[in-house]
Every structure is written in C-alpha cells, then in structure tokens.
Amino acid sequence: MEKQELLDKAKEAIVDADEEEAFHLILEAENQKLDLLDLLLLGFGAGNQEIGDRFDRGLLSLPELIYAAEVMKNVTNRILGILNSDGREACSFSAKGTILLATVAGDIHDIGKGIVASTLRTAGFEVIDLGCEVPVESILEEAKKRRVDIIGTSALLTSTMIEQKKLEKLLVETGEKKNFRTMVGGAPCTPRWAKKIGADGYSEDAVEAVKVAAKLIEEKWKK
C-alpha cells in the first residue's frame, strides 16, 4: 500500500469511527517502516479535523462526534505508545519546560489538543491538560498555581476564538503577561490572529507545536 493511500484510509477510518481498521493501518504502517507520526498527523489527524468540520456544519451529531473522538484518542495512545516503547521520540529538543493546555470556554473540541499534549510529552515537556470548556480566569489561576512556562489555548470554532483574545487581555490587565509565553491553535486560528491578539506563538499541528514551544522556552530563559 502506497503512503498516500495509507493516509487516505487512516482519515477514512476516523471519519467512520472504525477502530479495528485504524489499528490494522497502524500495523500496516509499521510493517512498511512508514513514519507513524506522519500517519497520526496527516492521516488520522486529517480525519479528526474532518469530523470536527462536519460537526460544526451540523452534519454530525454530538454522540457521533464523541464516538469518533474516542477512536482518535485510542489511535493516538497506540501510536505514541509504540514510539515510546521503541525508544523513539516524536521530536527531540534541548529546551524543555512546563506547558498548560486548555480548550477555551464554549468549545467542546478536545481531541486535537489531546494529540498536541501527547506529542509535547513525547518530546519531553511536562504538560498540564485542563480539558475543554475552560474559562480564561481558570486558565490563568492554574497557570499561576502550577508555575508553568507556556499557556496554550485551543479554539476550534470561530465563535470561541474571542476567548483567546480575552486571555491575552486578562494577562495584561493582571500584570501576568511577563510571566508566561502564550500559544494559540485550532482550525480557525492563523499566525495573523495570534499576532493580532498578542499571543507569542501559533501552531498548525502537533509537530509544529513542539517546535514553537521549544523556541518560546528558549526565549523565556534568555530573559
């Protein structure tokens, strides 16, 4: 099976919430010595994005979304488990730190952030995942309590992106902006959005999130 065909089938497996097929594709990729992280991000991750888009458009019910999301979670754990057991890491960086992640208030999308969290942990970061629908006040409170280096927020709906802006405003108003680096992500987010609201970084996917996080940690330690 060619790599692109495998990626296409992986996407389809998530859309169809077919866990048995998904695990078969992981085994197939291992046998062919294909990059499992590519399979996770470009294959299964694409399927995860598709179910999120369908839900936003009203083409998928909440139970269907939850079921597909559970399959995605199990697939992610299986792949990252293989990478860790083989002594491999998704990425390797000398700069490590503590990152707090949360999906903002009003947004139930949690799986994409879960992939980012798992990949960051594999790369050696300590990750505190607050889950979904987290108010900005709670995000800041936990960040201060845990003394994290980076706050990363996810917004998968255009209607909830404003929460990321609210967090940046809260950080400035409370004088806490200097103590944390911030990252934003999610389907509607862009580098332009990050710059507009005052966030320090933006990542499109889990691998880029690790690179951005490492850069932000390095910048923080230099000051």
- Start and end residues for every CATH 1.10.1240.10 domain found in the chain: 3-85
* Model confidence at 111: pLDDT above 80: no
Residues 136-149 have a mean pLDDT of: 97
Q: pLDDT at residue 215 above 50? A: yes
Instruction: Output the pLDDT for position 91.
Output: 45
Q: What mean pLDDT do residues 75-91 have?
A: 71
Give yes or no for a contact between 171 and 148, defined as CB atoms under 8 angstroms apart: no
In this structure, which topology does domain 98-222 adopt according to CATH? Answer: Rossmann fold (3.40.50)
User: Which of 62-71, 93-102, 172-181 has the weakest average pLDDT?
Assistant: 93-102
Dist. CA 32–CA 29, nearest whole Å? 5
CATH 3.30.2270.10 fits 3-85, yes or no: no
Distance, in Å, from the CA atom of 36 to the CA atom of 85, rounded to the nearest integer, reads 13
At 108 the pLDDT is: 82
Q: Model-level pTM greater than 0.75?
A: no
Averaged pLDDT, 69-74? 85
C-alpha span between 38 and 131 (Å, rounded): 25
What pLDDT band is residue 92 in, cutting at 50, 70 and 90?
Answer: very low
pLDDT for 37 equals 81
Tell me what the mean pLDDT of segment 161-166 comes to. 98
Of residues 188, 187, 117, the one with CA closest to residue 152: 117
Contact in structure between 79 and 37 (CB atoms under 8 Å):
yes
Pinpoint the residues of the chain covered by CATH 3.40.50.280: 98-222
If we measure between CA atoms, which residue out of 70, 67, 79 comes closest to residue 43? Answer: 79
User: Which of 31-35, 60-64, 158-162 is predicted with the least confidence, judged by mean pLDDT?
Assistant: 60-64
